[in-house]
Amino acid sequence: MKATALVFIAFLIVVMSSQVPIKATVDGASVGETAQQCTVTELQSCLPALTSGGKPTGDCCGKLKAQEPCLCGYIKNPAYSKYVSSPNAHKVFVDCNVSYPTC
């Protein structure tokens, strides 16, 4: 059981560390214009809360708020959607006072 958990956590770290480019636009920005630098690795401080359902750190909440325009891109990306859409992720959004996006 512990080995499975360790493998899962290692997998999450590898997935969260990959540099898949994701663009986010803000209202008024033209299509393809990058309005926010979306770097999923910025959310590594949220990994413990996302995997265990624990309380997110202040750093996690700050990074999550900074990456808020990127969340739809993460949700639409198959590599990240299962983590950003998980019940633990919803709890992290609530704890950090970040609205879950409607994409």
Domain architecture of the chain: domains with CATH: 2-95 (1.10.110.10)
Please determine, for residue 2, whether its predicted confidence score (pLDDT) is greater than 90. no
Q: Quick one: average pLDDT of 72-95?
A: 92
Question: What tens digit of pLDDT does each residue of 41-65 get?
Answer: 999 999 999 989 899 999 999 999 9
> Distance between CA 1 and CA 74 in Å, rounded?
29
Give pLDDT, residue 82: 86
Contact between residue 36 and residue 24 where contact means Cβ atoms under 8 Å apart: yes
Residue type, 77: N
b/e map 73-90, b = 16+ CB within 10 Å? bbbebeebeebbeeebbe
> Distance between CA 81 and CA 41 in Å, rounded?
14
The overall pTM is greater than 0.95: no
φ/ψ of residue 23, rounded to 5: -105, 140
